[in-house]
């Protein structure tokens, strides 16, 4: 199956940015599940004194979830789509939030706020060409003992959940995207979920990337078995011979 990648995908998100919030609002669990995943980071003291990275922030829904979960954190929100960032910047934000137009691969060495105490990545890893390289970048951006929460479509491996995802895409998501002129982006969404790691496979990928503490938690509602939160922790001390 053909997937949109890199600049082609960024351009598709640019085009869809004006209607993206309206379409995601059709999903009754979208914002609630993002908030639940952000809270699963369990950042202490409301994030006071902490630096948090929102990787793949889109129009800012994940950033808003982080802000609610950790209202005192310093948040850097990053996305590869200029159009999505433009929509995010039309919304009110406190001075503790800043938005940056970069790809995930460009971040290491280019971000003045690194290392981070926590990274939140929502709906990102399905959409990158080299997920292992991006996980390596995230690992480099996290300080010792840092926390990672990945919120994404990642099927359980059950035929039932795969069939439900196909039915929702064909009956709701792709028709809605067709109405807004973004059919290819939402066809990509369907295909990217089917092509991506199952939840156990992505958990194993996290472990291979140097995250020794990994948990997989489901979301609620119709997305159970389709969307998961992956929680991972960086080692408390740099690995011998590794980077700090």
pLDDT for 171-218, tens place per residue?
Answer: 999 999 999 999 999 999 999 999 999 999 999 999 999 998 899 999
61: in domain: yes
| C-alpha pair distances (Å), 209 with each of 87, 204, 213 | 33, 9, 11
Work out the number of other CB atoms within 10 angstroms of the CB of residue 13: 23
244: in domain: no
pLDDT at res. 46 = 96
pLDDT at res. 125 = 96
126: in domain: yes
**Average pLDDT value for residue range 123-135:** 95
66: in domain: yes
Number of compact structural domains in the chain: 1
240: in domain: no
122: in domain: yes
30 touches 60 (CB < 8 A): no
pLDDT reading at 40 higher than 50:
yes
Separation CA 220–CA 225 (nearest Å): 9
Query: Domain holding 203: CATH number?
Result: 3.40.50.150
187: in domain: yes
Domain that holds residue 136: 6-233
């Amino acid at each position: 199956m053909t997937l949109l990648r890199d600049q082609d995908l960024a351009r598709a998100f640019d085009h869809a940015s004006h209607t993206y919030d309206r379409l995601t609002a059709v999903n009754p669990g979208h914002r609630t599940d993002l908030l639940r995943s952000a809270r699963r980071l369990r950042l202490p003291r409301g994030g006071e004194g902490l630096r948090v990275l929102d990787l793949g922030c889109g129009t800012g829904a994940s950033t808003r979830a982080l802000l609610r979960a950790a209202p005192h954190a310093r948040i850097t929100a990053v996305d590869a789509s200029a159009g999505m960032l433009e929509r995010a910047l039309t919304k009110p934000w406190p001075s503790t939030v800043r938005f940056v137009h970069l790809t995930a691969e460009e971040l290491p060495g280019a971000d003045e706020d690194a290392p981070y105490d926590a990274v939140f990545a929502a709906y990102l890893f399905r959409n990158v060409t080299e997920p292992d390289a991006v996980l390596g970048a995230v690992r480099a951006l996290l300080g010792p003992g840092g926390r990672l929460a990945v919120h994404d479509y990642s099927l359980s491996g059950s035929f039932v959940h795969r069939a439900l995802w196909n039915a929702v895409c064909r009956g709701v998501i792709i028709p809605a995207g067709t109405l807004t002129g973004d059919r290819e982006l939402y066809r990509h969404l369907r295909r990217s979920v089917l092509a991506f790691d199952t939840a156990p496979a992505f958990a194993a990928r996290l472990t291979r990337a140097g995250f020794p503490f990994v948990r997989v938690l489901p979301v609620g509602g119709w997305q159970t078995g389709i969307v998961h939160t992956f929680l991972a922790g960086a080692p408390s001390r740099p690995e011998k011979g590794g980077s700090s």
